[in-house]
């Protein structure tokens, strides 16, 4: 998805095009209109709405469709992928009276977009997500805003369903990463704090907030929210395969009892920035990348310096030094672990 392209407005007839032009200027959007209604160079035309919409679907983060809901549903259905990646889709009538959040209500931002457009048209936002209609916290949005990675994501539905059924949800949050937001939003009554893991009821729904892999293994209704607070430093030989890098990182995290979903950044020496294996691992992990000069790395005191590395690349440490640079003032959680042509160290970011 093009990060520069934010919003597309779609109109199908003359009256809709007039409304679309008004919205486009206020939303800083790109307007799509039928060829016969094209007025200026900034507008983009289409011959067939369905084909053009499908082709442009992932080029924008938000779509505002001035069209019948049924038409848009038929066009959007074949191109859907995942609620975590699909863009927001809002549908409204050509008078702007009803603005419907159709797709991506929370994660995609369609609910907020519907309310934004409704304010512009003096219309009514139509929002049907259950947490909104029942006044419950939107866990997917809370997790996103607090940089907590849900695992597995499908259990978000399980926990929300329990809240809708008025069932209390267990909450293990020893570092108070989620609880303050729940408290501030006035939703504490929906949760039962658990202060000791031995009190956890495996058969009951719950949320386990931790950057460790320490959730009960036989708790099928436990949603883990992993804070993205871990950083790793990587050392590698040239020509290393991406699959080997990934396997090594996964192994070190598993053996150390750390949640891979909590990894926020991976750092290494700048001379390895162009390595295909490193780039492949970064693409799969979807974490921030940091590339340090040998001088930057050499300036960090580490527990396991290497005289060989100092002679060959100008720094006595890559993985530990990179992890410490990424972690700030925090000490290493996992000192250097050696693999086949690979080394890894892990630290925790300063909060």
Read off the CATH number of the domain in which 309 is found.
Answer: 3.30.420.180
CA distance 202 to 86: 33
Structural domain boundaries enclosing 280? 230-348
Residue 343 region by backbone torsions, left for phi larger than 0, else alpha for psi between -120 and 50, else beta: beta
Residue 315 lies in a domain: yes
SS3 at position 36:
helix
Q: Is the bond preceding residue 152 a cis peptide, omega within 30 degrees?
A: yes
Residue 322 lies in a domain: yes
Specify whether 275 is located in the same domain as 190.
Answer: no
Residue 134 lies in a domain: no
Residue 156 lies in a domain: yes
Specify whether 310 is located in the same domain as 344.
Answer: yes
The pLDDT score that the predictor gives to residue 5 is 60
Residues contacting 148, CB < 8 A, separation 6+: 142, 177, 178, 209, 225, 226, 227, 228
Identify the DSSP state of 184: H
Specify whether 223 is located in the same domain as 234.
Answer: no
Residue 35 lies in a domain: yes
Strand order in the sheet with 191-193: 148-151, 222-227, 206-209, 169-172, 191-193
CB–CB of 333/230 below 8 Å? yes
Q: Find residue 212's DSSP bridge partners.
A: 258
Residue for token pair 């486009």: 24
The pLDDT score that the predictor gives to residue 184 is 85
Specify whether 300 is located in the same domain as 312.
Answer: yes
SS3 at position 250:
helix
Give the helix/strand (H/E) hosting 251: helix 242-255
Angle value at C-alpha 76, between 73 and 79, nearest 5 degrees: 150
Residue 20 lies in a domain: yes
The pLDDT score that the predictor gives to residue 247 is 98
Specify whether 237 is located in the same domain as 207.
Answer: no
Residue 133 lies in a domain: no
The pLDDT tens digits along the chain (351 residues) read 444 469 999 999 999 999 999 999 999 999 999 999 999 989 999 999 999 999 999 999 999 999 999 999 999 999 999 887 899 999 999 999 999 999 988 878 899 999 999 999 999 999 988 777 777 778 888 898 999 999 998 999 899 899 888 888 999 999 999 999 988 888 888 899 999 999 999 999 999 999 999 999 888 999 999 999 999 999 999 999 999 999 999 999 999 999 999 999 999 999 999 999 999 999 999 999 999 999 999 999 999 999 999 999 999 999 999 999 999 988 999 999 999 999 999 999 976
Specify whether 257 is located in the same domain as 290.
Answer: yes
* Tokens found for residue 261: 């979903």
CA distance 180 to 183: 5
Specify whether 234 is located in the same domain as 344.
Answer: yes
Residue 89 lies in a domain: yes
The pLDDT score that the predictor gives to residue 112 is 92
Specify whether 191 is located in the same domain as 261.
Answer: no
244 CB-side CA count, 13 A = 17
Specify whether 64 is located in the same domain as 108.
Answer: yes
Q: Find residue 347's DSSP bridge partners.
A: 231, 332
Specify whether 164 is located in the same domain as 234.
Answer: no
The total domain count for the chain is: 3
The pLDDT score that the predictor gives to residue 138 is 81
Residue 30 φ/ψ, nearest 5 degrees: -105, 130
The pLDDT score that the predictor gives to residue 300 is 96
Query: First CA to last CA across the chain, in angstroms?
Result: 31
The pLDDT score that the predictor gives to residue 4 is 42
> Which of 94, 128, 162 represents a domain boundary (last residue)?
128
Residue 270 φ/ψ, nearest 5 degrees: -60, -30
Specify whether 220 is located in the same domain as 248.
Answer: no
Specify whether 239 is located in the same domain as 339.
Answer: yes
Q: Tell me the CATH number at 38.
A: 3.40.50.11220
Identify the DSSP state of 259: -
> Which of 184, 212, 227 represents a domain boundary (last residue)?
227
CA distance 326 to 74: 47
> Which of 102, 128, 154 represents a domain boundary (last residue)?
128
């Amino acid at each position: 998805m093009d990060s520069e392209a934010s919003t597309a407005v779609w109109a199908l007839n003359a009256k809709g095009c007039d409304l679309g032009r008004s919205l486009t200027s206020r939303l800083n959007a790109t307007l799509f209109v039928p060829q016969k209604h094209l007025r200026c160079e900034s507008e983009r035309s289409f011959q067939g709405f369905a084909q053009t919409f499908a082709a442009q679907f992932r080029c924008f983060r938000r779509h505002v469709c001035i069209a019948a809901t049924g038409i848009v549903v038929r066009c959007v259905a074949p191109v859907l992928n995942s609620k975590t990646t699909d863009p927001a889709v809002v549908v409204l009538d050509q008078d702007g009276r009803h603005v419907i959040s159709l797709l991506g209500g929370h994660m995609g931002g369609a609910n907020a977009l519907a309310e934004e457009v409704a304010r512009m048209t003096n219309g009514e936002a139509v929002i049907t997500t259950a947490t909104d209609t029942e006044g419950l916290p939107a866990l997917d949005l809370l997790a996103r805003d607090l940089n907590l990675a849900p695992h597995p994501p499908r259990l978000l539905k399980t926990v929300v369903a329990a809240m809708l059924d008025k069932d209390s949800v267990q909450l293990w949050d020893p570092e108070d990463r989620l609880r303050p937001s729940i408290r501030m939003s006035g939703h504490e009554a929906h949760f039962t704090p658990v202060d000791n893991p031995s009190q956890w009821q495996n058969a009951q729904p719950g949320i386990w907030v931790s950057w460790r892999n320490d959730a009960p293994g036989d708790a099928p209704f436990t949603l883990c929210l992993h804070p993205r607070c871990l950083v790793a430093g990587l050392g590698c030989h040239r020509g290393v395969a991406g699959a080997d890098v990934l396997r090594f990182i996964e192994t070190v995290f598993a053996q150390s009892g750390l949640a891979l979903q909590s990894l926020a950044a991976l750092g290494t020496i700048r001379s390895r920035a162009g390595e295909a294996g490193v780039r492949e691992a970064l693409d799969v992990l979807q974490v921030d990348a940091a590339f340090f000069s040998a001088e930057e790395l050499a300036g960090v005191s580490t527990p396991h310096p290497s005289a060989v590395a100092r002679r060959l690349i100008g720094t006595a440490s890559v993985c530990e030094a990179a992890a410490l640079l990424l972690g700030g003032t925090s000490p290493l959680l996992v000192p250097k672990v050696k693999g086949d042509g690979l080394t890894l160290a892990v630290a925790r970011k300063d909060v």
